[in-house]
Amino acid sequence: MGRVLKYIEERKSRYGALHMTLIDPDKVGDLSVISKLCQVIDEAGSDAILLGGSTGVVEFQLDEVIKEIRSYTSIPVILFPGSVAGLSRLADAVFFLSVLNSVDPYFITGAQAQAAIAIKRHYSNLEIIPTAYILMGDGGAAAYVSCARPIPYSRPELALAYALAAEFMGMKNVYLEAGSGASKPIPPEVISRVRSYTTVLLTVGGGIKSYEAAYVAAKAGADIVVTGTVIEHQPDKLKEIVRGVRDGGRERLRAR
């Protein structure tokens, strides 16, 4: 097991669930905001930074952002690529994504094959975390860009079907994504259905903006709760969101 996965597992057994903060380098604009973002992230107790976005991300920009992040925080930086351009040698790991419910094979295996040799040759320091990316609800820009057919919230059995398929295919992480800025996060019934039949790492994100939503997601079974928009628009709320993840995680530890 790689260093980052070990870190995730260790925090999972200590806290029940982790929080990760998504930073979209294309939305950062001026690098000078990174110091403030890192301060907010560290003070809130977020466990790692996810770095990526659906559009407009290029490697040199990722490099600059990661260098800046490294001078302010020591938590892991994990790439969350929206395309083959979303890689950087300076990160710790990459969520090697396959959009399982895309209708275009490019987003399931094509982009991955396109990136694979380059990763082997030039990014061998990156820890690869094989991740099934499953778009749900309105799916946001991620669903649009990756030609996904988002799963309706009313059909949790379909989310389970894809998550189980991912586990059987050997994926290490299943990411249930509602889309950045989604009006409704993934419902707890969907999370708990997937959780009760799978043992794979379960990541949930999209539209989580409050203590309650974070608490509910972690309690229902998310191992990793991701928020992005909050730090852009309401950084003061990050602390309560991480607290929600910790409280929900603690409930799960207790119930074991």
Could you count the other beta carbons within 10 Å of the beta carbon of residue 175? Answer: 26
Rank residues 51 and 182 by Cβ distance to ligand 1GP and give the closer one: 182
Question: CB of 148 within 8 A of CB of 108?
Answer: no
Work out how close the CB of 46 gets to ligand 1GP at its nearest, in angstroms, rounded to a whole number. 12
Rank residues 45 and 254 by Cβ distance to ligand 1GP and give the closer one: 45
Work out how close the CB of 158 gets to ligand 1GP at its nearest, in angstroms, rounded to a whole number. 19
Rank residues 128 and 231 by Cβ distance to ligand 1GP and give the closer one: 231
Spatial distance between the Cα atoms of 248 and 245, rounded to a whole number of angstroms? 5
Q: How many helices (H) and strands (E) does the chain have?
A: 11, 8
Binding region for ligand 1GP (CB under 6 A): 22, 142, 177, 180-182, 205-208, 226-230
Residue type, 11: R
Rank residues 15 and 133 by Cβ distance to ligand 1GP and give the closer one: 133
Work out how close the CB of 136 gets to ligand 1GP at its nearest, in angstroms, rounded to a whole number. 11
Which of 97, 120, 115, 226 lies closest to 166 in space, CA to CA?
A: 97
- Residue closest to ligand 1GP, measured at CB: 205
Work out how close the CB of 205 gets to ligand 1GP at its nearest, in angstroms, rounded to a whole number. 2
Work out how close the CB of 178 gets to ligand 1GP at its nearest, in angstroms, rounded to a whole number. 7
Spatial distance between the Cα atoms of 75 and 69, rounded to a whole number of angstroms? 9
**Residue the block writes with tokens 């203590």:** 211
Write down the H helix ranges in 16-147.
25-28, 33-44, 59-70, 110-122, 140-145
Rank residues 113 and 152 by Cβ distance to ligand 1GP and give the closer one: 152
